[in-house]
Structure 1
Amino acid sequence: MANMYYPLLALSSCLLVSVARADVTIYGLFGQTTAAPVQQGASSTSAPSTTFITVPGPPSYTGLAAYNPVYWEPPAIPNPPPPTTFAIGVPTDQNLMTGISIPQAGTFFGFSIEMSVANQLIGTSSKNLNVPFLNYMSIIAEKAGSVHIRVGGNTQETAFVVDSLADGKMIEKDKEDASNPTATPVLALTPDLLYMLANVSSLVNINWYLGIPFNDTANWRFQIAELGEAILGDRLLGFQAANEPDLYGQHGHRPLTYSPFDFFGEYALFTQAWQADGNVPVKNKIIAPSTSYAVWSPEQVWDTGFVEAYGQYLSHLAVEHYPADNCAVIFPNPQNPPRDPLQVLPTYLTHQAGLDFVQPYLNSTALAQQWGKPFLLFETNTASCGGFPGISDAFTSALWGIDHALQLANSNFSGALFHFGGQNVSYNPFTAAPTNESALHGWTTGPLFYSAVFVAEVMGKSNTTRIKDMGANNGNGQTPAYAVFENGQFSKMAMINYMTDPSGANDYTATIYVGGSGWNEPNGVPASVQVKYLLAPSTSEKDNITWAGQTLGGRFASDGRWKGEENIQTVPCDQNANSCTVKVPAPGAAIVYFSQDAQAAIAGESYSTYPTTVLTKTKNTVTIDPSVLATSNGDSGKSRLNNMGGTSQGGTNGAAGAVAPGVAALFSALAGVAVFFRVTIR
């Protein structure tokens, strides 16, 4: 069936209140906005929808986590420090490189958006799209060729489709009928949600994963899939059927004894109904098992014969996993006490973090290749339940995100989707401004979005990229490096320096030898290489982050477009010695472009931006040529403030009465303090 689109009448600058969710969804008047206690000796007190963190000495921050101004003191330089000069040898031909990854696509680093809050991040309707969202995604699409986004999560499990909702809404949550420990509501949605996704894809090259319900095995609901096929067409990547099934028992969706074999049996019922549905023409786009690793290992699912039995329906195999959690502040548990972010911080500033994360999945990625299925990390981020303040919202997460994604690619995952929350989580790639401040403030760019930009550029558009962890500097955890091959040839080197040292004493210099006698190849070093740097003053920095000299702005300062002049450095190489010497500041990350194709790609970069046509707020707005898009007032966000709750563990209720106090507390704090100072905790 041909794609069908509702008319895209306008792009709106009206930004809805965005509230929290993470990997596990809860609703209600409880939750935390600034995460775990700041450090030992710091105190915290609770209010109905916010936790107040007292930083030792004035001032203290009582606002929402996405705008937290508290900076942790970066970890000290290791003693002894790693060597700051070392060599890396790499062949020009990928066939001479052992242990190299499978081919990877530019879309490797994607995003995960909870279905119930798609109207807060993407747009309010098919007619009203959030301009900053389009701009952010345009950056990634230009570098990667496309962007992969999942719309689903816990709320997909109870979702059902209706023709229309009151006041023209496309999503409505029924919290009264929620009957589970996380209070995840029943979700009603209209076809307009899918038309909105289609209209986004008509402007930016985005393809979508959709979640479908798995809560009622006697009465399967496939309307989301039927409409998805009809409306999104070839923009549809696949359907996730079952979200974190290993947690069904703990969350009250199944008996506590629910096992992988029970799941296997339910999938038999699912595939029978799926096969019988004539309104779903494509049967082999299912993504499973999407376990969380909290209860079942992937092997427990594989051992049931799951892939052999249902492989004809599966387009991808998937898991969901966060490297840590900050859930104890929401659900106190003697077995899982609250974590001190200062103690956790160093674990994110080492290459070992990625090595430890992938280890339990190496068997599964190998099996996936045997089965001919891509293996996805379908949902991840720095830590579940909203991340850690001072880590997830700092330059730490930008460096971690690069290393995490490249290690996953090196280990033969085929993609990773990084999850979004709202204003009361720390880990967002970017965050919308509260509606009542959207006339004065822009969106907030999270450091993790710079990871996405970096990795998209590493992967490129060729869809032939192969990654190799070089074990640089004798495998030192502070100075990792990855070799990048495209079309069979060495093209780039990606390097990270996790240390913070403003003196420059711990900047490192890597001499990269390419080809030569070590592999009996002709010399592969060009006369010069080009280098782009991701930089910040320290790993604790939140606002002053640049990519090749440009920035997307700090808190409340972005519309998703670059600011400043691009600065690509040219470094001469020694063709007699067959080497190029490149410095990486402490902290920082660099991409070194070796091949002619890689250098030509960055020379020709350009991307589309989308200003607004809806002047409901007359400050910080621009117009768009009517020949590009017709104009309209669109739909107001005011009527959508009710029932916008969080969608995950750690989230707060989104009803207007609950949101207002948090917003008031935020801007009471920010008015004279948060935008203008930083607090460093040692």
Structure 2
Amino acid sequence: MFSTRTNKPFLLIPLLLLPSAHAIVSIYQTPQQSILSAERVASSAAAAGTPIPYKGLPAYNTTGLQAPPPPEAGSFPTQVTLQLADAPMLNVSIPQKSSFFGFSIEMSVVNQVLGSNASVLQVPFLNLMANLQQRTGRIDIRVGGNTQETATLVDSLDDGRIIEKDHALATNPTGTPPLRFTPELLYMLRNISEHVNIRWHLGVPFNDTSNFRLQIAEQGQAILGDYLIGLQVGNEPDLYVSHNHRPPDYGPEDYFHEFGSLIQAMIADEDKLTPRPKTLLLGPSIQFNWTAEEVWNTGFIDAYTDNLAFLSVERYPNDNCAVAFPNDPGQTFHDPQKSLNQYLSHGATSGALQLYANSTSIAVQKGKPFLMFETNTASCGGFSGISDAFAGALWGVDWGMKLASMNFSGALFHVGGQSVSYNPFTPPPSNESTFHQWSVGPIYYSALVVGEAMGTSNTSQVLDLQNSAAAVFAPSFTPLADQFAAYGIWENGHLARILYINFVTDASGAHDVNVTMNLDQPILQGSVQVKYLQAPTVAQKGNYTWAGQTFGGNFQSDGRPVGTENIQSITCTSPTQCTVKIPAPAAALVFLSPTGGQDATQKGAPQTTFATTAITKFRNTATVDPLVLSTSNGRSGALGVGSTSPEGTKNSGPVVRVGFTMVIGGVLIGAIFLIIA
């Protein structure tokens, strides 16, 4: 973690463990998920011939599944020819921002993932975001989820925390306790943005529409300024009835009217709210009980067009709720081993997202960005062996690129606590933080790949080549639809990159795919550059490589990639033809370097890492550059020091307050105290 004080700034990594989780619903009482449901999972595992499940915290489960056998000989074409045009092809997407792939962090775990207060920030998190900033220039993050709905901003908490949960009041079916938080949480977000270019979505509590609690909007505008880009109005309102949050007849019309009531409440709050927050609203953020069209048919978009910054939905392609809630007879158990093929199928991904095709078209017509505001491999915590395996990394790349090709304008992959399997990154349990580092999950690798595929120009247009009539394949590409994916990326009006995904596992090389790209213009310059996302099998957990670099396995990362970047150069046969091999399994990002494109070595921002210069222990040694600290906001709140960021705006308050951390004698019990000289 990163901490500052007025004379000698220092780094601090305190012990943080919050036993919480989230997917479509927030999951608490983790022993119920990992132990009470063990018999059900064990019987399925025994039938599949897999080991008896691990019973510890799901985020660190090392038990794996079996990779599916490769397709039979002759059923999987390995020699493919692809015809491509330099100009954007038919049905290409709208221009996409470089920050397309972002994250959604459950509000209840921010002091585990982000930091314990405004002056003590998680350095591994800063490093992980800096990696993405280097590739994309910016990251968009939502802080919220089910726990935002009952959250209340208070001036202070008796124990000095920035957030706490009242488990005694967790009476709803999901076991989600109400939250109380202080403005320090928002100052923490602001201070993070002073070091890494992160923009934030927040959520207005929506459990009491007769007395809206607007403090998060009031304080959000004052503290975050232009770093605040969205305010969610209702999280999964289509599930309110099943969660006992609304009467049984609650429907899209009711949500429509409640949305309007919030706008009126914000207008009435003109003494504390500037006009800007009223233009940052987003909704309806529904899951599956309503269709998006049912909401649009209320006149939602036209009625609130001046207030809507984004349209939004949330979607998980499957659920593990029978394991999360074993006493709920209404849940269907999904065997992870049998479910694995769903995540190795481009056809399954395309099918799951097809229901949004009409809505994205409407969003484009209305000029509104359409967000997949919360997503991941499976709701209710994900599947161990899928969500935390290489299959999850390949699926995340395909899911993200498919969303971009369908004219979504962003996708936020959810981050929960230690009780879920799908986290892009997870800090260690608090009682292990003195000797364990972070665990970087497969979805984070997906973010790196998609980020580089999008590039930094904010002009990239994406096309799913398999589903495009304009793309001509020979021999027939149809058999590859389930186990192979191909996307074209046009930048500044020219073909710049191609992304391929081979979902098959075969160490023999017999199912490697050789794709010959035939271009209509002589744009190739002798060779193409290729970066590979690889692991030996789709079932492997940890130690994946992106262009030769890795974040290791569980408890092994400080957020900085390890290893030398390996960019392969492939010689082309002519300026219009080149053949690239995609191993089984792997994703391959091919840089064509045409006019207006960037090559594989170009970045969106200078490389930034937060590393120590002097330490008192020899583990977890990530810290922050002293030059960065010297211009940061990390000083005692009593000093009233304002932001030194050149990006401060009229929407931000005059002072960015941070807490003051005192360590007597340079020792903090139960924590690692890292000093910058």
What is the TM-score with the length of structure 2 in the denominator? 0.86
Instruction: Describe the SS at the equivalent of 1:88.
Output: strand
Match of 2:504 in 1: 499
Deviations 1:22-48 (A, max 9, x none): 22024346531389769987379xxxx
* Preserved contact between residue 610 and residue 622 of structure 2 (Cα < 8 Å): no
Instruction: Describe the SS at the equivalent of 1:353.
Output: helix
Question: Which amino acid is the alignment partner of residue 407 of structure 2?
Answer: N
Match of 2:421 in 1: 426
Match of 2:572 in 1: 573
Deviations 1:260-286 (A, max 9, x none): 111122222111112222122112100
Matches within 5 A, 1:354-365: 354-365=349-360
Deviations 1:642-668 (A, max 9, x none): xxxxxxxxxxxxxxxxxxxxxxxxxxx
Aligned mates of 1:399, 1:355 — CA distance in 2: 14
Match of 2:170 in 1: 178
Please tell me whether residue 16 in structure 1 is matched to residue 16 in structure 2: yes
Deviations 1:537-558 (A, max 9, x none): 0000112210111111111100
Match of 2:371 in 1: 376
Please tell me whether residue 137 in structure 1 is matched to residue 135 in structure 2: no
* Preserved contact between residue 116 and residue 155 of structure 1 (Cα < 8 Å): yes
Match of 2:28 in 1: 27
Aligned mates of 1:391, 1:155 — CA distance in 2: 26
* Preserved contact between residue 20 and residue 29 of structure 2 (Cα < 8 Å): no
Aligned mates of 1:41, 1:13 — CA distance in 2: 37
* Preserved contact between residue 11 and residue 127 of structure 1 (Cα < 8 Å): no
Specify whether residues 181 and 163 from structure 1 end up closer, same or farther in structure 2 by C-alpha distance, changes over 3 A only. same
Please tell me whether residue 88 in structure 1 is matched to residue 82 in structure 2: yes
Specify whether residues 616 and 236 from structure 1 end up closer, same or farther in structure 2 by C-alpha distance, changes over 3 A only. farther
Match of 1:634 in 2: 661
Matches within 5 A, 1:122-161: 122-161=114-153
Matches within 5 A, 1:447-596: 447-471=442-466, 474-475=477-478, 476=480, 477-515=482-520, 522-575=521-574, 578-596=576-594
Specify whether residues 270 and 622 from structure 1 end up closer, same or farther in structure 2 by C-alpha distance, changes over 3 A only. closer
Deviations 1:617-660 (A, max 9, x none): 6533255453432699937999999xxxxxxxxxxxxxxxxxxx
Specify whether residues 54 and 132 from structure 1 end up closer, same or farther in structure 2 by C-alpha distance, changes over 3 A only. farther
Match of 2:68 in 1: 75
Question: Mean Cα displacement is larger for which, 165-174 or 424-433?
Answer: 165-174
Please tell me whether residue 353 in structure 1 is matched to residue 311 in structure 2: no
Deviations 1:410-457 (A, max 9, x none): 011111100012222111101101122112111111011100000000
Match of 2:319 in 1: 325
Instruction: Describe the SS at the equivalent of 2:453.
Output: helix
> How far 1:57 moved relative to its partner?
8.6
Question: Which amino acid is the alignment partner of residue 478 of structure 1?
Answer: Q
Please tell me whether residue 255 in structure 1 is matched to residue 247 in structure 2: yes
* Preserved contact between residue 204 and residue 234 of structure 2 (Cα < 8 Å): yes
Question: Which amino acid is the alignment partner of residue 582 of structure 1?
Answer: V
Question: Which amino acid is the alignment partner of residue 368 of structure 1?
Answer: A
Give the root-mean-square deviation of aligned CA atoms.
2.7
Question: Which amino acid is the alignment partner of residue 588 of structure 2?
Answer: A
Structure 1, unmatched stretches of 5+, are: 45-52, 516-521, 642-682
* Preserved contact between residue 126 and residue 196 of structure 2 (Cα < 8 Å): yes
> How far 1:589 moved relative to its partner?
0.5
Match of 2:261 in 1: 269
Aligned mates of 1:417, 1:430 — CA distance in 2: 14
* Preserved contact between residue 13 and residue 616 of structure 1 (Cα < 8 Å): no
Match of 1:646 in 2: none
Deviations 1:27-72 (A, max 9, x none): 346531389769987379xxxxxxxx99969786332212212221
Aligned mates of 2:240, 2:399 — CA distance in 1: 28
> How far 1:314 moved relative to its partner?
0.5
Please tell me whether residue 602 in structure 1 is matched to residue 605 in structure 2: no
Aligned mates of 2:416, 2:208 — CA distance in 1: 27
Match of 1:677 in 2: none
Question: Which amino acid is the alignment partner of residue 572 of structure 1?
Answer: T
What is the TM-score with the length of structure 1 in the denominator? 0.86
> How far 1:503 moved relative to its partner?
0.6
Aligned mates of 1:20, 1:41 — CA distance in 2: 23
Aligned mates of 1:322, 1:245 — CA distance in 2: 16
Match of 2:299 in 1: 305
Instruction: Describe the SS at the equivalent of 1:209.
Output: strand
Question: Which amino acid is the alignment partner of residue 487 of structure 1?
Answer: N
Specify whether residues 14 and 40 from structure 1 end up closer, same or farther in structure 2 by C-alpha distance, changes over 3 A only. closer
Matches within 5 A, 1:233-244: 233-244=225-236
Match of 2:395 in 1: 400
Deviations 1:486-529 (A, max 9, x none): 000000000000000001111110001112xxxxxx42222111
Which protein, 1 or 2, shows the higher relative CO under an 8 Å CA cutoff with sep ≥ 6?
A: 1
Deviations 1:172-210 (A, max 9, x none): 112223332223222111111011001000100100000
* Preserved contact between residue 12 and residue 614 of structure 1 (Cα < 8 Å): no
Aligned mates of 2:178, 2:5 — CA distance in 1: 26
Question: Which amino acid is the alignment partner of residue 329 of structure 1?
Answer: V
Match of 2:408 in 1: 413
> How far 1:563 moved relative to its partner?
0.6
Aligned mates of 1:514, 1:57 — CA distance in 2: 46
* Preserved contact between residue 20 and residue 30 of structure 2 (Cα < 8 Å): no
Structure 2, unmatched stretches of 5+, are: 467-472, 636-659, 672-677
Question: Mean Cα displacement is larger for which, 188-197 or 627-636?
Answer: 627-636
Match of 1:518 in 2: none
> How far 1:335 moved relative to its partner?
4.9
* Preserved contact between residue 573 and residue 580 of structure 1 (Cα < 8 Å): yes
Specify whether residues 340 and 231 from structure 1 end up closer, same or farther in structure 2 by C-alpha distance, changes over 3 A only. same
Aligned mates of 2:616, 2:163 — CA distance in 1: 22
